[in-house]
Amino acid sequence: MADGMNVKLKRDAGIIGLLFASLGGIIGSGWLLGPLTAAKVAGPAALIAWAIGGFAVLLLSFVYAELATAFPRAGAVIAFPKLSHGNLMATMLSFVVFLGYASVAPAEASAVITYASNYIAGLVDKAGVLTTVGFIASAVLLAIFAVVNMLAIKLVLLINSTLTWWKLAIPVLTIIVFLVAGFHVSNFTSHGFAPSGVSGIFSAVATSGIVFSYLGFRQAVELAGESSNPKRNLPIAIVGSVLIGLVIYAGLQIVFIGAVSPADLTKGWANVSFVGHFGPFAGLASLLGVGWLAILLYIDAFISPSGTGIIYFTTTSRVLYATGKEGLIGGNFFAKLTSVGVPVVGVVVTFLVGLLFLAPFPSWQGIVTFISSATVLSYGTGPVVLLTLRKTMPEAQFPRPFLLAGAPIVAGVAFIISNFIIFWSGAHTDNFLFGLIAVFAILYIGYESILGVGLQNLHWRGAWWLAPYFFGMWLLTYLGPKGLVQGTGLLNQVTDSAILVVFSLVMLFVAMNSGMVDPEEAKATILAGEPEMFGAE
């Protein structure tokens, strides 16, 4: 390994590499397990849940298309809040981002093992929870992801692009074959289109892997600092990947609902079960007499999640690299690169933290619900950053390579929907998430006050609003309806939702007016417009 401080990230990521990086993140374990999980929660109305999730993430992707092209940095989601609100806000959000990112690879490893349990006994129990043997197998997969990520970014993206062609072909083939081999139109109405009502649809968005799947678009955002042509490549990769993912997932949900035998629905969608349901699409393929497709699906159940796990390892390590490069946490320790430009410390830490996440969330659905809440919490601040920089850096003086039309409306709606997704994740998940954030905040501020820059030198102006925002989101979930979010029931669904909308708008206004009055670094970045500004070559 080289010194690490004189090596720069390589600007080798082209348009196909970036598009496939995002698609590789979107088409992973979500398509293999999500349609069954969503159908159990929402019935055939799961199709609406996929549309809601896709719309929400598409709005966020528009926001990040402008930000990523204007400030194409590695680990960009960490750099954005630093540019608009200062170090303290960026540091807090870097922790949230890391939680959401670092937990994805173990989720993908868990998905591989869950599917494998259909032909290898002893990997999961009857509830789909990893056994000791399953945990060890998942850990081995994480180690393989780490080894692949020690390669140069150009090779990692080449591997990912190759895998993504396969990952796209198999779901499309599955849609076609299922439509031909067996499709029961009556399944859409026989037990009610929305047996759990509106609450079931909303719950499915956050807890069934729907948002988790779509959030793969962020891969191109995090690799922005390694793009060969950010202005052209990033908008296409970011928005295009979400649109392609939406079409594929809608098709998969439709054919899954139609392929289930009516005999397996006698107890309703919430209790649907069939032979091989731990690998739902492969199990249905076998029942439909399409054995060759079942074999391909079992192979894909290793390739698709593994490909996603690999690319998430890539971007998680870049997030850690960014915290060091931006002077937030770890300093030069996290900013060290190997001779081929790999943030080695980030790769190792990602592996170790991934192991820790397998313990409290030993099932796929449990871990993806946490990921959805944590990631949307971090990415949901994108609208705050966008509108703040629009205010402090007017387009007339600081032109953007890509300008989002109707930004105030798009960003406002994106922020509100992001908060709803956090809310729909449920009290159990949000208790854990906001509890971790509170502990981190206490430890970090305590460290800075004693051994660091001192309390008076922290960028309080840009970060103070996070305290009422985080607390308010937790409180609204905690007091929410018992059925939708497993809250105390003090507030019903309509009242809680109305309060959440008003709360979101108030916090967006407060956050916009808490940004740095003169964001010098952000202005210098746009005016320079040179790759060297972003630590790449």
* CATH number of domain containing 527: 1.20.1740.10
pLDDT digits (tens, 9 = 90+) for 476-511: 999 999 888 889 999 998 999 999 999 999 999 999
pLDDT digits (tens, 9 = 90+) for 145-186: 888 877 766 777 677 677 778 888 999 999 999 999 889 999
| Rounded Cα gap, residues 169 and 179, in angstroms | 16
Name the pLDDT band for 537 (thresholds 50, 70, 90). Answer: very low
pLDDT at 536: 38
Q: For residue 3, is it within any domain? A: no
pLDDT: is 474 or 93 the higher one?
474
| Rounded Cα gap, residues 298 and 305, in angstroms | 11
In Å, what is the CA distance from 438 to each residue of 40, 367, 425? Answer: 33, 20, 18
Q: For residue 6, is it within any domain? A: no
pLDDT digits (tens, 9 = 90+) for 75-85: 567 788 988 99
pLDDT at 1: 44
- Six-digit token pair at 151? 């390669």
Q: For residue 441, is it within any domain? A: yes
Most confident of the ranges 14-18, 24-28, 70-74, 98-102:
98-102
pLDDT digits (tens, 9 = 90+) for 185-229: 999 999 999 999 998 999 999 888 898 888 877 777 666 555 666
Name the pLDDT band for 31 (thresholds 50, 70, 90). Answer: confident
Task: Kindly give the residue spans of alpha helices, DSSP state H, lying in 263-394.
Answer: 280-287, 291-325, 332-335, 344-358, 364-379, 382-392
Question: Is pLDDT at 46 greater than 90 in this prediction?
Answer: yes
Q: For residue 247, is it within any domain? A: yes
pLDDT digits (tens, 9 = 90+) for 316-357: 887 788 777 767 766 677 777 777 777 888 888 889 988 888
Mean pLDDT (the chain, rounded) = 84
The angle that helices 76-85 and 382-392 make with each other, rounded to 10 degrees, is 40
- Six-digit token pair at 520? 């010098």
Q: What is the mean pLDDT of residues 401-415?
A: 90
- Six-digit token pair at 246? 């939406």
Count of helices and strands (H, E) across the chain: 25, 0
Sort 167 into a burial class: Cβ within 10 Å, 0-12 / 13-18 / 19+: buried
Q: For residue 291, is it within any domain? A: yes
pTM above 0.85, yes or no: no
CB 491 within 8 A of CB 472: no
Q: For residue 78, is it within any domain? A: yes
| Rounded Cα gap, residues 136 and 349, in angstroms | 18
- 13 pairs with which residues across the strands? 227
Residue 485 amino acid letter: V
CB 307 within 8 A of CB 317: no
Name the pLDDT band for 366 (thresholds 50, 70, 90). Answer: confident
- Six-digit token pair at 321? 């690299």
Determine the structural domain holding residue 111 and report its residue range.
15-534
- Six-digit token pair at 384? 């705050």
Q: For residue 167, is it within any domain? A: yes
- Six-digit token pair at 188? 């859409």
pLDDT digits (tens, 9 = 90+) for 219-263: 776 665 556 666 677 788 888 888 899 999 999 999 999 999 999
Task: Kindly give the residue spans of alpha helices, DSSP state H, lying in 43-86.
Answer: 46-70, 76-85
Q: Coil, helix or strand for 440?
A: helix
- 124 pairs with which residues across the strands? 130
Domain count, the chain: 1
DSSP state letters, 183-222: --GGGGTTT-SSTTHHHHHHHHHHHSSHHHHHGGGHHHHH
pLDDT: is 437 or 319 the higher one?
437
Q: For residue 2, is it within any domain? A: no
